[in-house]
Structure 1
Amino acid sequence: MANSASSPVRLLYDVRVRAVLYQVVAVALVLGIGLYLFGTVSRKLAEQNIATGFDYLSRPAGFVISQSFISYDSGNTYGRAILVGLLNTIWVSVFAVILSTVLGLVVGIARLSRNPLLSTLALLYVEALRNVPLLLYLFLWYALIVAVFPPVREAWQILPDVFLSNGGLIMPSIRWSAAHTGVLASATIGIVLAFVVAAFMRRHRVASGHARAAWPFVLAALFVPPLIGFLLFQPDLVVNWPEKGRFRITGGLQVTPEFTALLVGLGLSASAGIAEIVRAGILSVGRGQWEAARSVGLHDRQTMRLVVLPQALRVIIPPLTSSYLSTFKNSSLAIAIGYPDLVMVSNTTMNQTGQAIEGIAIFMLVYLGMSIAISMLMNWYNARVALVER
Structure 2
Amino acid sequence: MQNLIDAPKQKLRFSDPKVREWLFQIITIVAVVSLGWYLFNNTQTNLQHRGITSGFEFLERSAGFGIAQHLIDYKESDSYARVFVIGLLNTLLVTVIGVVLATLLGFIIGVARLSPNWMINKLATVYVEVFRNIPPLLQILFWYFAVFLSMPGPRNSHHFNDTFFVSSRGLNMPAALAADGFWPFACSVLLALVAVGLMVRWANQRFEATGQLFHKFWAGLGLLLVIPGACALIFGAPLQWEMPELKGFNFVGGWVLIPELLALTLALTVYTAAFIAEIVRSGITSVSHGQTEAARSLGLRPGPTLRKVIIPQALRVIIPPLTSQYLNLAKNSSLAAGIGYPEMVSLFAGTVLNQTGQAIEVIAITMSVYLAISISISLLMNVYNKRIALIER
Query: In 1, Cα distance between the equivalents of 2:318 and 2:177?
Result: 41
Give CA deviations for 1:255-301 in whole Å, capped at 9, x if unaligned: 11110100110000000000100010011011111111100001111
Find the counterpart in structure 2 of residue 298 from structure 1: 300
User: Structure 1 residues 71 and 324 mapped into 2: Cα distance closer, same or farther (>3 Å)?
Assistant: same
Find the counterpart in structure 2 of residue 267 from structure 1: 269
Deviation at 1:302, TM superposition (A): 1.2
Q: Tell whether the 8 Å contact from 2:149 to 2:259 is kept in structure 1 after alignment.
A: no
Q: Tell whether the 8 Å contact from 2:62 to 2:80 is kept in structure 1 after alignment.
A: yes
Q: Tell whether the 8 Å contact from 2:316 to 2:385 is kept in structure 1 after alignment.
A: yes
Find the counterpart in structure 1 of residue 103 from structure 2: 101
Query: In 1, Cα distance between the equivalents of 2:30 and 2:189?
Result: 39
Q: Tell whether the 8 Å contact from 1:58 to 1:77 is kept in structure 2 after alignment.
A: yes
User: Structure 1 residues 195 and 371 mapped into 2: Cα distance closer, same or farther (>3 Å)?
Assistant: farther
Find the counterpart in structure 1 of residue 382 from structure 2: 379
Find the counterpart in structure 2 of residue 126 from structure 1: 128
Q: Tell whether the 8 Å contact from 2:149 to 2:168 is kept in structure 1 after alignment.
A: yes
Query: In 2, Cα distance between the equivalents of 1:364 and 1:198?
Result: 45
User: Structure 1 residues 245 and 196 mapped into 2: Cα distance closer, same or farther (>3 Å)?
Assistant: same
Deviation at 1:35, TM superposition (A): 3.9
Deviation at 1:241, TM superposition (A): 2.9
How do 1:295-334 and structure 2 match up within 5 A?
295-334=297-336
How do 1:219-368 and structure 2 match up within 5 A?
237-346=239-348, 347-368=350-371
Deviation at 1:116, TM superposition (A): 1.5
Q: Tell whether the 8 Å contact from 1:135 to 1:333 is kept in structure 2 after alignment.
A: yes
Q: Tell whether the 8 Å contact from 1:152 to 1:167 is kept in structure 2 after alignment.
A: yes
Give CA deviations for 1:200-235 in whole Å, capped at 9, x if unaligned: 7699779x95889997x999x999xx99xx9xxx99
- The one-letter code matched in structure 2 to 1:116 is W
Deviation at 1:386, TM superposition (A): 1.2
User: Structure 1 residues 237 and 306 mapped into 2: Cα distance closer, same or farther (>3 Å)?
Assistant: closer
Q: Tell whether the 8 Å contact from 2:148 to 2:263 is kept in structure 1 after alignment.
A: no
Query: In 2, Cα distance between the equivalents of 1:127 and 1:344?
Result: 30
Greater Cα shift, 342-351 or 152-161? 152-161
Find the counterpart in structure 2 of residue 144 from structure 1: 146
User: Structure 1 residues 41 and 192 mapped into 2: Cα distance closer, same or farther (>3 Å)?
Assistant: farther
* Structure 1: runs of 5+ lacking an equivalent: none
Q: Tell whether the 8 Å contact from 1:111 to 1:119 is kept in structure 2 after alignment.
A: yes
- The one-letter code matched in structure 1 to 2:359 is A
Deviation at 1:44, TM superposition (A): 1.4
How do 1:81-92 and structure 2 match up within 5 A?
81-92=83-94
TM-score (normalizing by structure 1): 0.82
Deviation at 1:49, TM superposition (A): 1.4
Give CA deviations for 1:164-214 in whole Å, capped at 9, x if unaligned: 21101111213479x98x8999799879978986897699779x9588999
Superposed CA RMSD in Å reads 4.2
Query: In 2, Cα distance between the equivalents of 1:75 and 1:235?
Result: 37
Deviation at 1:40, TM superposition (A): 2.0
How do 1:8-19 and structure 2 match up within 5 A?
none
Query: In 2, Cα distance between the equivalents of 1:38 and 1:204?
Result: 60
Q: Tell whether the 8 Å contact from 1:104 to 1:275 is kept in structure 2 after alignment.
A: yes
Query: In 1, Cα distance between the equivalents of 2:185 and 2:357?
Result: 39
Query: In 1, Cα distance between the equivalents of 2:377 and 2:124?
Result: 28
* Structure 2: runs of 5+ lacking an equivalent: none
Query: In 1, Cα distance between the equivalents of 2:110 and 2:65?
Result: 44
Q: Identity across aligned pairs (percent)?
A: 42
Deviation at 1:338, TM superposition (A): 1.1
Deviation at 1:157, TM superposition (A): 2.9
Query: In 1, Cα distance between the equivalents of 2:339 and 2:202?
Result: 49
- The one-letter code matched in structure 2 to 1:79 is A
User: Structure 1 residues 116 and 97 mapped into 2: Cα distance closer, same or farther (>3 Å)?
Assistant: same
Deviation at 1:36, TM superposition (A): 3.2
- The one-letter code matched in structure 2 to 1:112 is L
> Helix, strand or coil for the counterpart of 1:170?
strand
Query: In 1, Cα distance between the equivalents of 2:188 and 2:75?
Result: 29
Deviation at 1:106, TM superposition (A): 0.8
Query: In 1, Cα distance between the equivalents of 2:149 and 2:133?
Result: 25
Give CA deviations for 1:301-324 in whole Å, capped at 9, x if unaligned: 111111111111111000000000
Query: In 2, Cα distance between the equivalents of 1:265 and 1:316?
Result: 23
Aligned length: 377
Query: In 2, Cα distance between the equivalents of 1:351 and 1:150?
Result: 34
How do 1:36-185 and structure 2 match up within 5 A?
36-175=38-177
Q: Tell whether the 8 Å contact from 2:158 to 2:165 is kept in structure 1 after alignment.
A: yes
TM-score (normalizing by structure 2): 0.82
